Structures are given as structure tokens and as C-alpha cells.
Structure 1
């Protein structure tokens, strides 16, 4: 089975969700991800859960499209986390048919962070959405092992770990760590490439993640190795922000290239797995 391809919000963050559907249709994506809440204060987001008219317009557009909404972004688990405040986001996500919400772990109190994740997963389950905890090396969930330890403490069907190729390569995560994640906790993975050597400080790690990812096959990340640990039909979100490269060729050529190169990696992995 061919893995569904998603156009991640961060890849075209300057594009509103309605137009993101247009781009996904035009360039061969199957799904989109929508950033409803900003990743950091002052950054771009499209809070459809606060705008009924915009939400209804997107739902009508999706009704006439083969494109589906797969994931929502981003819920950050901080010290003052209150799951009730995210009910409007999850209600909107359910109306959009979203399957997952991306979760970042910022609270350095491990016990409290673990409890917050468990409460969020319980809430997400009520809306048929999984709480995909993404490990990122500069956060309180720096690697896959930590993510698994936290998710293990939650109950129910909404448990999920999100694998991002960039964060995998730039953390202490090994291929064995990825292979050890329960298959039922994997709902999608994010693909991109990245430069080597990797940055050595958190500020540069963050900047690269948000601004300087590379096209699959043009950097130094072992994408074939990473995907060899994952189910061949696992949905893939192409998360690849790089505005200088995008502007150099134009959005249409850029997205065509991302689809072609991502499919090439996935096809290589599928051929290897078949042998």
C-alpha cells in the first residue's frame, strides 16, 4: 500500500487552510495539517476554532475535495496545562475529520508532564483524535525513549508518538529506539532532510527545524534507515520549511519536488523491505 502524503502546515505556513487545500490537490498530496495555535508567541496560526465562518467555509471546501485534514497543531504541555482550554480546538478538529493533534512537551517536571499528557489523551479520545507526542531535542521530551516513557503512563486509544526525521537525527534516538515503539502508537511521521553536521545549541536546532529543513535526499539524514523501522503504509507528513529555496523556484515547483523526492525515499524503502 502506498503511504498517504500530507502537506504539513509548516511547509506553507503563509498559506491559509482554504488555499492549502488547493495546493494539496494540485501537487498530489492526500491530506493537510493545519496550525490552529502558534508554535511560539507571535508566530503564524489560523485559529479556525475561534472563527465559525472560516471553519464552515473550510468544511464546505473539503466536502468537494479528495483532500482530508489529518493533523492539527500544536498543543504545548506546560506547567499550567489545562485540558479544558483545548475543547474548542478538538471540537473543530472533529468537525474537520482530523485524526491527530501534534503535542509538544515543555514542562520540565516529568511527573506533571506525564499527567498532563495522560489527561490530554483522555480528552482527545472523546473526539476520535490521537494525541501525538513529538520528541524534539530542545524540549522536555528530547528523544523517542522519553516519549515512550511518558505515553506508556496514559490509557486508552489516543496514545501516540510522532516521529520527525529531523528530530530523530538530531537527538540521541537510535533506529532500535524507533523500532521499539509499539506499532499501535504510530499514526504518522514527518519527513524532511537536514544538514550535517547538526547544530550544537538549542537556538540553532530550533531555527533549523522552523526555517532550514532540506529536501529528502539532499542532506545527511538516514531517511532510508528511519523508514525501515516504520510500517510501509504509515502516513507521511512532509514538513519542510525553507523559504529561500521555495522562493528560488516558486511554490509550485517546490511542492512538486517535495512530493517527488519524498515518494522516492518511500519507494526505496518499500523495495528494500520487499527483499
Structure 2
């Protein structure tokens, strides 16, 4: 089964949503991801949920395109989390046809974080959107086991764990941990490669995750091993920010390169 390919927000974060669709159409993507809320203060985002005119324009553009919106970013769960604050984002996501919203866990109080995630998942379910909790080694959800423990306490169809190849490689997560994630909780996975050796401090881990991911097959991550553990045909979001390479190659050559490399990586090798 051929996995749908998505052009993640972070790969072309300086590109507004309308032009993001143009790039996806030209380079063989099936879906896009949009960042409506910033991952960190001062970083780029496109708050369509606060701009009805821009949202209407994007809905019209999608109606004339084979490209679909798959995921929205990013809801961060902190100590003062209130899921009701994100109703406008989810309403916009429903209009766009989004399937998932990426969720980061920042609350170090595990019981409170678990309760907040459950309340968010319940809310997301009303909009037909899954709450994809992403484990990242520098956050309060550092690995796949932690994500499963938190998501298991929620109810309903919106429960979801997001697997990012970079975070698998840089956390304590094993392929056995990936295999233990209930298949119905896996809605998409993020693809990239990463440097070898792995950085040994959080600051460099975060910098590389946001700025210096590598083309699949050019780094040290066991991508074939990871994808062999995930369900066949699982949608793939190519999350691959690397501005030096992108600027040197230009958007067209850059996107063609990462699409081709991803296709090669997720296509099962035939045995003779």
C-alpha cells in the first residue's frame, strides 16, 4: 500500500498556507500540515482561526485542489491548560478538513498532564480531529512509553500517538515500544533523518529538531527499522527543516529530493 505523503509545516515554515498548497501540488504531496499556533514565542505561525477572510480564502483554494489538510500545529499542554481556549482552532480545523492536531506535553505534573490530555481528546472528538500526542525527549512526554501511558487514560476515538523518527532515535524508545502502541492510535508519522552521533544536551537536540534535520538515508537513524514496525500505508509527514540545504538547492530541487528519498525509504525492499 502506498502511504500518503504530507508536507509538514516546519519543512517550509516561511511559506504562507496558499503557497504551501502550491508547493505540495508541484512536488507530489498528498497533504499539508499547517502551523496555526507557534511552537515557541516569536516563531512563525499562521493563525487562520483569528482571520476569517484568510480562512475562507484557503477553504476555497482547497476545494479546487487535490491537496488536503492533514494536521494542524501546535497545542501545548502546560500547567494552566484550558482546552476550551482551543475551540476556535478546532473549528477552523474542521472547516479545513483536518484529521489531526499535534499536541506537545509541557506539564511536569504527570497526573495533571494526563487529565488535560484526556479533556483535550474529548473536545477534539467533537470536531472529528484526533489529538496526536508527540513524544519528544526534552518534554514532559519524553518517549513512546510515556505517551502510551498518558493516552491510555483518555477515552474515545480521538486518542492518538505521533511517532517522529527523530524523537524515536533520540529518546529511550525502542522498536518494541513502537510495536506496543495500539494500531488504532497511530494516524500518521513524521519522517526525517538525523545526525550521528546524537547530541548530548537538550539545547542542541531542540536546535537540530527545528533547524537541521537530514534527508532520509543520509544520517544515522534506522528509518527502515522504524517504518517496518509501523502499520503499512500509514500517512507520512515529511518534517525536514534544513534552511542551508533548502536555500542552496532551491525549493523545487529540495522538495523533489526529500520526496524521492522518503519514497525510497518507506518502500519495502523486495527479497529474491
Normalised by the shorter chain, which TM-score bucket? over 0.9
- If the length of structure 2 is used for normalisation, what is the TM-score? 0.99
In structure 2, the residue matched to 1:260 is 260
Equivalent position of 2:162 in the other structure: 162
1:92 Cα deviation (Å)? 0.1
CA distance in structure 1 between the partners assigned to 2:56 and 2:262 by the alignment: 32
Unpaired segments ≥5 residues, structure 1? none
Counterpart of 2:199 in structure 1 is 199
Matched, 1:17 2:17: yes
Asked if 1:86 is matched to 2:122, the reply is no
1:121 is aligned to 2:121:
yes
TM-superposed CA distance for 1:271, in Å, is 3.4
Q: What SS class does the counterpart of residue 37 from structure 1 fall into?
A: coil
Secondary structure of 1:75 counterpart: strand
For 1:105, the equivalent position in structure 2 comes to 105
Q: TM-score, normalized by length of structure 1?
A: 0.98
**1:271 alignment counterpart:** 269
Instruction: Give 3-state SS (helix, strand or coil) of 2:269's partner.
Output: helix
CA distance in 2, matches of 1:257, 1:60: 30
Asked whether 1:63 is paired with 2:63, we answer yes
1:158-182 alpha-carbon deviations (Å, 9 max, x no partner): 0000000000000000000000100
1:28 aligns with 28
Describe the superposition over 1:6-61 as per-residue Cα deviations: whole angstroms up to 9, x where unpaired. 00000000000000000000000000000000000000000000000000000000
Q: Could you say what secondary structure the match of 2:14 adopts?
A: coil
- How far apart are the structure 1 equivalents of 2:182 and 2:40? 30
Aligned partners of 1:236 and 1:96: how far apart in 2? 19
Q: 1:246: which partner in 2?
A: 246
Unaligned runs of 5+ in 2: none
Instruction: Deviation per CA, 1:76-113: give whole Å up to 9, x if none.
Output: 00000000000000000000000000000000000000
Q: Which runs of 4+ in 1 moved over 3 A?
A: none
Distance 1:124 1:212 in 2: 32
Name the count of aligned residue pairs.
272
RMSD: 0.9
C-alpha separation between the residues in 1 aligned to 2:245 and 2:194?
A: 13
Give a deviation string over 1:180-207, Cα, whole Å, max 9, x none: 1000000000000000101111110000
